[in-house]
Amino acid sequence: MAKSVLLLFSSVSILLPGVGSCPKKCLCHPSSNSVDCSGQGLSTVPTDLPPWTLTLLLQNNQIHWLPALAFRTVPQLSTLNLSNNSLSHLASEAFHGLQHLEVLNLTQNSLLSVESSLSHALPGLRELDLSSNSLSLLPRSLGKPWENLTVFAMQRNRLLHLDRALLEAMPKVRLVLLQGNPWECDCHLLGLKLWLETFTFAGGVTDGASCRLPEPWKGKDLLSIPHELYQPCPLPSPDQAPSLVQQPGYTPQEAHKPPENNFGQQGSLECEVKPKPKPANLRHAVATVVITGVVCGIVCLMMLAAAIYGCTYAAITAQYHGRPLAPTSESEKMGSKDPIDSSAA
């Protein structure tokens, strides 16, 4: 009987080689569909993970990077913990195939950037924790809404700014953690401030964003700074941002000397308050109108002066010629009468 059971088990094992397998240095728990590989000094993700794995714990290892399709053997994965692994690079397709992943923990790593394709690879993600990394820049847009994300944690990174368009692509987010970043509370952060105000008014929870710069606002919460102290950012000129693509209708303007900002310090070129210059074609049109008006005025004055001179000259000429004509006519009349008077005598 025992030999029959052993033979049956061997046959099933041959037909289903993946069932019941567990990577070395890992603890597999089929009852909870979880695999614990934490703190085992692993440098790569195990390739022989059980396909029934729903929770995978890989924290406290030495995994420095994730290749494409690193989790292709566990397509049903819902929770993944990769914290404290010194991860510095994620391949653009590292998480492809994880359509059911809901929780991703990437805290305490060395990530410098995050691909915008992350939202496409993980459409079902609900919680994303990127705290305690070296992120200084995030994508400005995800390309499409991250429909299911409710928790977005970015604490203790190197972020100076955060575009509100990224947060607007998370319509269901309810918890946003931003503390521990060296936020530069200038004109570029006004969009984040406005978004956070709307977010908290609608019932969202945030730990706020404390300013590091400028110096007068150091340590102050972004939401406590009045709107009046912010000014819109001017369009960058070609000299300041030669790599930027100019928008249609954009006219390059000359660089202006940065004015004194609201903090009593000299503002940076990118956040200074500049007078809005008129377009070049409008300036030319105004100049043309002014010059034309001046020329027409001069011509009119000259014509008026010529008319006055002509009238005066004509009047003087008529008066001059009119004086001798009257006596001559009278003398002719008198001369014609004298012979009659003589003959009568």
Give residue-wise pLDDT tens across range 70-94.
Answer: 999 999 999 999 999 989 988 889 9
Tell me if 85 sits within 8 A of 107, measured CB to CB: no
pLDDT of residue 64: 92
- 224 in any annotated domain: no
- 68 in any annotated domain: no
Phi, psi of 288 (to 5 degrees): -65, -45
- 130 in any annotated domain: no
Tell me if 211 sits within 8 A of 185, measured CB to CB: yes
- 292 in any annotated domain: yes
DSSP state of 221: B
pLDDT of residue 295: 82
- 311 in any annotated domain: yes
pLDDT of residue 172: 95
- 288 in any annotated domain: yes
pLDDT of residue 170: 93
pLDDT of residue 279: 46
pLDDT of residue 60: 96
pLDDT of residue 110: 93
pLDDT of residue 208: 85
Tell me if 72 sits within 8 A of 99, measured CB to CB: no
As a whole number of angstroms, the distance between CA 329 and CA 322 comes to 11
Those residues whose C-beta lies under 8 Å from the C-beta of residue 27, and which sit 6 or more positions away, are: 35, 36, 37
pLDDT of residue 234: 66
Tokens describing residue 52: 């029934």
* Strand partners of residue 14: none
- 214 in any annotated domain: no
Tens place of pLDDT per residue across the chain (345 aa): 444 433 443 343 333 444 458 998 899 999 999 999 999 999 999 989 999 999 999 999 999 999 999 999 999 999 999 999 989 988 889 999 999 999 999 999 999 988 888 888 899 999 999 999 999 988 887 778 899 999 999 999 999 999 899 999 999 999 999 999 999 988 888 889 999 999 999 999 999 889 988 888 888 888 888 876 666 666 665 555 444 344 444 444 444 444 444 433 444 444 444 444 444 445 555 667 778 888 888 888 888 888 888 888 777 877 766 555 444 444 444 444 444 444 443
- 295 in any annotated domain: yes
- Residue 145, number of CB atoms within 10 A of its CB: 14
As a whole number of angstroms, the distance between CA 52 and CA 35 comes to 10
Tokens describing residue 11: 């046959």
How many structural domains does the chain have?
Answer: 1
- Residue 158's nearest CA partner among 197, 185, 184 is 184
Q: The domain containing residue 291 runs over which residues?
A: 280-321
pLDDT of residue 292: 83
Tokens describing residue 340: 């009659």
